[in-house]
Amino acid sequence: MIPFHRPSIGKDEIAAAVEVLSSDWLTTGPRAQEFENAFALRLGVGYALAVNSATAALHLALDAFGVGPGDDVVVPTLTFTACGEVVNYLGANVVLADVGEDGLLGPEQLAKAITPKTKVVMPVHYAGLGVDIDALRRVWDGPYLEDAAHALPATVNDHNVGTLGDAAAFSFYATKTMTTGGEGGMLVTNSPDIAKRARMMRLHGISSDAWNRYGAGGKWRYSVEEAGYKYNLTDLAAAIGLAQLKRLDELWAKRASIAARYDGAFRGKGIDRPIRREDQHSWHLYVIRVEPDIRDAVILNLATHGIGTSVHFIPLNLMPYYQRLGYSEGDFPVAERLYSESISLPIWPDMTEAQVTTVINAVLEAVH
Ligand SMILES: *Cc1c(COP(=O)(O)O)cnc(C)c1O
């Protein structure tokens, strides 16, 4: 069996988890702060707030941008539903947009989606290829919230993804490029105002340092300023995240070498490979494209060889919830075609050369 994904958890991650479990502080505390500091340093960004998912980070960021009823938020249709649902949480309208051939929201697609009520645009760095947000700004110059769930560590024009927009959300879900033990996320921003609001809202709308109410000298007195959320990341998760963050480049290099092998093997074989640019791709996903009429059969064929695959994504406008908002099949021809052609292959750091070869041979056999 070659699963679609297997997280790379080494002895350092396990030791870090055991250390926290053996201590007397399990939830948000010193490890979470250390993780935030290390993450902010790594990205070169002013503020990093550890939360329990990227969905939480997206929600907190939209809240901090002041999104509410009557506002429009632009979301590419080729993404996970987290992007749209957080807009709904705040009572605002999801405005879906098509994507370009690279799977990304581009200036052309954005221009068609902008309305007088657009409050925030949420580009998705699909698969780990960075969106050029400077190019989008020439179309619309308001706040950009990067969905960077796929894109650690990726760059655009030598800038780290996560520092291109006004705020960004990273995911440490089990299948992403690093994990905090299954679930986790990070909100990053250079704005002190966004950081201040999100820090309060991620923990019940309580002002300042509420996590340390129980320590000696801890401040037992606190003030509830808003109806906030319960989005904090535990120290247990943060300790695992710190150990993974130290291995980020090592994990990336292994994925990049698998991508290079796939590229070489599929070249000239009637299989469309991911678009590459000068920028660093994070290689969260390696998405091949085949003729739509054979796509499902190829997936089944790979499954009979014990190879796990996935499809990213079924466009949001094909989903019942978004259809109740007024979207339908046919609204976004490029995203729908990319979806019908796409197969995401296994690309995880600990894949052996033999396993990569097995996937390559099975794909070539299934396609021809
Ligand atoms: C995984 C994912 C998310 C959500 O991440 P969670 O940490 O699971 O909340 C958001 N957007 C995209 C594009 C994703 O792939």
For 257-316, write each residue's pLDDT tens digit: 999 999 999 999 989 999 999 999 999 999 999 999 999 999 999 999 999 999 999 999
Count CB atoms within 10 A of the CB of residue 350. Answer: 12
Does the pLDDT of residue 213 top 80, yes or no?
A: no
pLDDT tier, 209 (very low <50, low <70, confident <90, very high otherwise): low
Does the pLDDT of residue 65 top 90, yes or no?
A: yes
- Which stretches does DSSP call E strand in 270-337? 286-289
Question: What is the 172 CA–ligand 1 centroid distance (Å)?
Answer: 9
Please give the average per-residue pLDDT across 55-67, as a whole number.
98
Average predicted confidence (pLDDT) for the chain: 96
- Distance, CA of 184 to CA of 235 (rounded, Å): 11
Specify the pTM. 0.97
Q: Spell out which residues line ligand 1, taking CB within 6 angstroms.
A: 53-55, 79-80, 82-83, 124, 147, 149-150, 171, 173, 185
Residue 270: the pLDDT is: 87
- The answer to whether the Cα torsion of 103, 124, 105, 67 is positive or negative is positive
Residue 216: the pLDDT is: 66
Closest CA to 235 of 5, 10, 21: 21
Yes or no: say if 3 and 346 are a contact pair by the CB < 8 Å rule. Answer: yes
Question: What is the 169 CA–ligand 1 centroid distance (Å)?
Answer: 9
Q: CA 178: distance to chain centroid?
A: 11
Residue 17: the pLDDT is: 98
Residues forming the active site: 176
What is the bridge-based pairing of β-strands 72-76 and 118-121? parallel
pLDDT tier, 212 (very low <50, low <70, confident <90, very high otherwise): low
- Distance, CA of 8 to CA of 108 (rounded, Å): 39
Does the pLDDT of residue 218 top 70, yes or no?
A: no
Closest CA to 349 of 249, 275, 268: 249
Residue 207: the pLDDT is: 83
pLDDT tier, 123 (very low <50, low <70, confident <90, very high otherwise): very high
Could you tell which of 170, 171, 187 is best to mutate to test the pocket of ligand 1, judged by most ligand atoms within 8 Å of the CB?
A: 171
Q: CA 93: distance to chain centroid?
A: 21
Could you tell which of 51, 53, 55 is best to mutate to test the pocket of ligand 1, judged by most ligand atoms within 8 Å of the CB?
A: 55
In the numeric block, the tokens 């907190």 are attached to: 60
Determine the 3-state secondary structure of 182 from DSSP.
strand
Question: What is the 361 CA–ligand 1 centroid distance (Å)?
Answer: 31
Does the pLDDT of residue 45 top 80, yes or no?
A: yes
Question: What is the 82 CA–ligand 1 centroid distance (Å)?
Answer: 6
Amino acid residing at 163 = T
User: Which range, of 31-35, 203-207, 230-234, 337-341, averages the lowest pLDDT?
Assistant: 203-207
Residue 193: the pLDDT is: 98
In the numeric block, the tokens 């993804």 are attached to: 161
